[in-house]
Amino acid sequence: MKMYNVAIVGATGAVGQQLLTCLAERNFPIGELRLLASARSKGKVISYCGTDYVVDETTEDSFAGIDIALFAGGAASKMYAAAAVNAGAVVIDNSSSFRYDPEVPLVVPEVNPEDVRWHKGIIANPNCSTIQMVVALKPLHDAAKIKRIVVSTYQAASGAGVEGLNELRDQAQILAADPNAEITPSAFAHQLAFNVIPHIDVFQDNDYTKEEMKMHWETQKMFHDNEIRVSATAVRVPVYRSHSEAVSIETERKLTAAEAKEILKNAPGVVLQDDIANKVYPMPLLSSDTDLVYVGRVREDISCDNGLCLWVVADQIRKGAATNAVQIAELLVKEELV
């Protein structure tokens, strides 16, 4: 069996750690494993499948002999992706640095696997909120052509990394002991515990945030459809893990709720969890630490003719980041593109 030399840039972060777990769980055929991070993490020891690896600092020279470089280190992508490509690696990048570059495919394997074929060295992983939404919507788009999407997200604290997760935990502990305690936020713009914050990433000229515009740009790119319009409101909620989304779609052809459920039941990567009589619907506590996208509360929209409403939940560190990246790597292997 052919083995692949794999580098992980940002190996010590939340997504980097999850990448290691996913690679091990899925038995990815790794020859050499190189763990890279910023100078701050140099020398840390991380265990992978029973072997200890020492984290090295990422430099331009880090990628000799590497076949696949998984980037999970935010700012490192712009700094080192070109060096990795020049060294002969295929880069799978989790940041937004290359997502909107027409020369770079943006891929969710359940949605547009064919786009990996035209990669020129870099493949971008979409934003976590986009990934779970398009996995749920692509089969409905194929069946009835979605014209418009209105989505509100309920994004977990760990979307902002380990720092966000710790900030929520600390605030909850402090406020449980003293509801009037003074809170100084750092990872988020405001106190997150016992609050919701309608602000993720930076505001744009049109008063949407960049997190919201990512869902518009990325859906258009992966659906190969510049007509489809997405209006998102991205909200941070005091949940540790798994993003939720209330999604309303308007389709060209009418889809009944029953038809939509039948389609979703058979859709790749989707679990239909929709049994309202028994209070069954997706929730972040149920989806956390799993790789699938859960859809429920499927109903016909009473506010427009060809409308459907759905509730979509997925673990944003797994399917929204690491699992999707590893699935792309698996596609590259399967299609002999690396």
User: CB of residue 84 vs ligand 3JN: minimum separation in angstroms?
Assistant: 17
Whichever of 177 and 202 has its CB closer to ligand 3JN, that residue is: 202
Is 243 a residue of the active site?
A: yes
Look at the block and give the residue holding tokens 């409308």: 307
Give the residue from 312, 193, 164, 327 showing the smallest Cα distance to 244.
312
- Check 119, 141, 216, 243 and give the catalytic one: 243
For residue 303, give both structure tokens.
């506010």
User: CB of residue 39 vs ligand 3JN: minimum separation in angstroms?
Assistant: 20
- DSSP at 321: I
SS3 34: strand
Is 128 a residue of the active site?
A: yes
- Check 128, 141, 216, 309 and give the catalytic one: 128
Query: Quick one: how far is CA 269 from the chain centroid?
Result: 14
User: CB of residue 266 vs ligand 3JN: minimum separation in angstroms?
Assistant: 29
Whichever of 108 and 128 has its CB closer to ligand 3JN, that residue is: 128
Whichever of 123 and 144 has its CB closer to ligand 3JN, that residue is: 123
Whichever of 22 and 308 has its CB closer to ligand 3JN, that residue is: 22
Whichever of 149 and 165 has its CB closer to ligand 3JN, that residue is: 165
Q: Taking every pair of C-alpha atoms in the chain, what is the biggest distance, in angstroms?
A: 61
Binding interface with ligand 3JN (CB under 6 A): 74, 95-96, 127-128, 155, 159-160, 200, 214, 316
Apex 44 CA angle, 40 and 46, nearest 5 = 135
Residue 113 has a CB neighbour count (10 Å cut-off) of 16
Look at the block and give the residue holding tokens 């502990």: 173
The residue whose Cβ lies closest to ligand 3JN is 159
Q: Which residues on neighbouring strands pair with residue 152, listed in sequence order?
A: 233, 246
Whichever of 96 and 251 has its CB closer to ligand 3JN, that residue is: 96
User: CB of residue 65 vs ligand 3JN: minimum separation in angstroms?
Assistant: 27
Give the residue from 136, 127, 108 showing the smallest Cα distance to 308.
136
User: CB of residue 252 vs ligand 3JN: minimum separation in angstroms?
Assistant: 30
Instruction: Give the whole-angstrom CA distance, residue 39 versus residue 151.
Output: 39
Instruction: Give the whole-angstrom CA distance, residue 194 versus residue 231.
Output: 26
Instruction: Give the whole-angstrom CA distance, residue 143 versus residue 254.
Output: 10
Give the residue from 100, 95, 81 showing the smallest Cα distance to 16.
95
User: CB of residue 320 vs ligand 3JN: minimum separation in angstroms?
Assistant: 8
Query: 44-57 b/e with 16+ CB inside 10 Å = b?
Result: eebebeeeebebbe
Report, as residue numbers or ranges, the catalytic residues.
128, 243
